[in-house]
Amino acid sequence: MPDTNNPLLAEWTSPCEVPPFNDITPEHFPEAFDRSIEVYRQEIADIAAESETPSFDNVIAALERSGRQLDRVATVFFNLSGADTNDRLQEIERQITPRLAKLHSETYLNSALFRRVDALFSRHKSLELTAEQDRVLERYHTIFIRAGARLDDAAKTRMAEIAERLAELATRFAQNVLADEKHFRLVLESEADLAGLPEFLRRAAATSAEDLGLTGKHVITLARSSIEPFLQFSERRDLREKVFEAWANRGAMAGKTDNRPLIPQMISLRHERAQLLGFETFAQFKLDDMMAKTPEAVRKLLMDVWRPARERAQQERDALQSMVQSEGGNFDLAPWDWRHYAAKVRKAEHDLDEAEIKPYFQLDQIIAAAFETANRLFGLTFKPRNDIPLYHPDVRAWDVFGAEGQAIGLFLGDYFARPSKRSGAWMNAFRLQEKMDGDIRPIIVNVLNVVKGGEGQPTLLSFEDARTVFHEFGHALHGLLSDVTYPLISGTNVPSDYVELPSQLYEHWLLQPEILHRFARHAETGEAIPDDLLERLIAARNFNMGFQTVEYLASAIVDLDFHEALPEASADPETHEAAALARIDMPAAIIMRHRIPHFLHIFAGDGYSSAYYSYMWSEVMDADAFRAFKETGDIFDPATAERLYTHIYSSGGKYDPAEAYKAFRGRMPAIDALLEERGLDVKQG
């Protein structure tokens, strides 16, 4: 029977069965986890002890149905811990993550359970399974083996210890970065401190100050949408350096939030786990289950793009240094100068000024543009919901309907930066789509960190912020349009070097005149973006591309380097980082997009460890995929959109990613489309 005293365990009667956020407090989670873990352990014990001959239904389908109560509790908890945390939630997170890691090990190192999975897999060709069932069985078998199910008892014990410790360290790593971000603030006290800042940035900084109880002042926080425009516009080089150093050194500040002691431990534990499983390095282990397959394939892609990108970045650096000197500056360009002088060079070369562009990119209009694109591609419509309990007043909800008017799911948007939210942008699911026991529709959330406009003022975006809205909504569509039976392969449950394809592909529609003419409208006049400004914006789309590519690639290369090297190389993470950058001749005026001490993608969990290259791997596909639309002469070509829906957005993990892409495009992509999109002309090495 449901527990009506704990809303996490009770039946959810909210509209769309949304979690009852109005009733949930942090104190409900410990009991909910305790009881849900107990239920899940019993479910697994029953599956493992089943006396009937292993079948898809009594093994795989049973595994898919197990843990649903725990999944429900954990999904709510981890969404909140990322998007709206507090001290109590963080305390619970430190306690629960190692327990869940231990539970995962108990399940996938369960010898009796694996014997049933293995026996079933050994005769899967004779079982007359559907293609989807065969795929789910294969994935479960792989997951068990990669967890260590074939190891001896001593090795299994060690694997479980490693998993539990890694979970502890990953939680500490993420919380340390959030603490550094939360506690930094650059208070601008005088008009001199505000020198160069346009009105939109002053308003945003004043709003940030009000949120922090500093009414009448202006505050720059470590939200990217606060820092980047400040670095771009501020004429105060000393303040630019101060805020940049705080941003670059998150996780590397002496004291209790220092992540540098944690990194060698994590690298060593990952390496040990890989070797227990028969791999030489963690990178080999991780990539063996990805599209790329090998570190060599990844490194070749990264270095093929690194060479032209670095050359372009050096040319850009020279142009910026000339601008410094033309203004009488007697200093070498530093990382905190790059965005400032890049804006001036872009103004000189393309007559583009962010202060001129930004009023045309209102958050609400860009959301509407993302919805319109989904309508023209897939026939979706979106209707606001105001009757649903949500976890923060800033969160919004929309019902999503298909081309025939059928309910598809619920979409939530959480766009504004706040101290209780970790940095970055992401998509999560409060509920996955599945059809095992009825048509379960998804609840998907996009979380961003845009600086909110002032009272009564629209929230204005940089073009990069607008691109992020489209990117994350591409992920959201991957979850919303999912049309599979089994949760294991629902939505974005695909390899990370494939999961970025739907999101990065979606970005392409943002810069199309058909979209911008309609939705890029001035915040004050309502007028559409002028043709000449749109032409200048499109012409400058690859401006500063060397810089953008280098800062990303450096992070991907260093990630791979850390996970290919022997653990002792990481004893001093910053020294290892510097040595890796020296090997690729990193330009002095650019730093990694994510330095190792705050590299959440690879250390706040395992998703992108050895796999930050995934964005570039997927970009090869997304550039080629958008070509498929351009080749038809219609960026919303119905036949191409139908193939995109069928083989990419709706198929989840039903198919091998390479086969899914070939079904859409007819072939695998080549790197030339990516290089063309980035404006990097190159002779491949």
Instruction: Return the active site residues.
Output: 472
Query: Which structure tokens are listed for 667?
Result: 């072939």
d(CA 58, CA 450): 47
- Assess contact for 421 and 79: CB atoms under 8 A: no
Q: What angle do CA 372, 378, 382 make, to 5 degrees?
A: 50
Whether residue 434 contacts residue 484, with contact meaning beta carbons closer than 8 Å, is answered with yes
- One-letter amino acid identity for 132? E
> Taking the CA of residue 252 as centre, how many other CA atoms within 13 Å lie in the half-sphere pointing to its CB?
17
Tell the burial category of 366 from Cβ atoms under 10 Å away from its Cβ (0-12, 13-18, 19+).
buried
Closest CA to 435 of 398, 489, 387, 389: 489
Task: Say if residue 478 is exposed, middle or buried (CB neighbours under 10 Å; 0-12, 13-18, 19+).
Answer: buried
Query: Of 200, 326, 305, 330, nearest to 623 (Cα)?
Result: 305
Q: How far is CA 2 from the centre of its chain?
A: 34
User: CA nearest 654: which of 436, 510, 493, 460?
Assistant: 493
Sheet holding 426-431, edge to edge: 381-385, 396-401, 407-416, 443-450, 426-431
Cα–Cα distance for residue pair 619/612, rounded to 1 Å: 12
Q: Name the residue type at position 290.
A: M
Q: Nearest Cα to 616, choosing from 659, 554, 667, 668?
A: 554
In 3D, which of 566, 570, 564, 562 has the Cα closest to residue 264? 570
Cα distance between residue 338 and residue 346, in whole Å: 12
CA angle 433, 435, 439 (to 5 degrees): 80
> One-letter amino acid identity for 487?
P
Closest to 263 measured CA to CA, from 571, 590, 50: 571
With 0-12 / 13-18 / 19 or more C-beta atoms within 10 angstroms meaning exposed / middle / buried, residue 681 is: exposed
Asked if residues 205 and 188 have their Cβ atoms less than 8 Å apart, the reply is yes
What is the distance between the terminal CA atoms of the chain, rounded to a whole angstrom? 64
Quick one: residue 384, left, alpha or beta (phi over 0 = left, psi -120 to 50 = alpha)? beta
CB 487 within 8 A of CB 653: no
**Spatial distance between the Cα atoms of 555 and 306, rounded to a whole number of angstroms:** 12
Q: Can you tell me whether residue 184 is helix, strand or coil? A: coil
Calculated CA dihedral for residues 308, 309, 310, 316, nearest 10 degrees = 110
Classify burial at 11, counting beta carbons within 10 Å of its beta carbon; exposed 0-12, middle 13-18, buried 19 or more: exposed
Strands 407-416, 426-431: parallel, antiparallel or unpaired by DSSP? unpaired
Q: CA-CA distances (angstroms) from residue 384 to 17, 338, 398, 470, 475?
A: 16, 41, 4, 18, 20
CA distance 186 to 238: 12
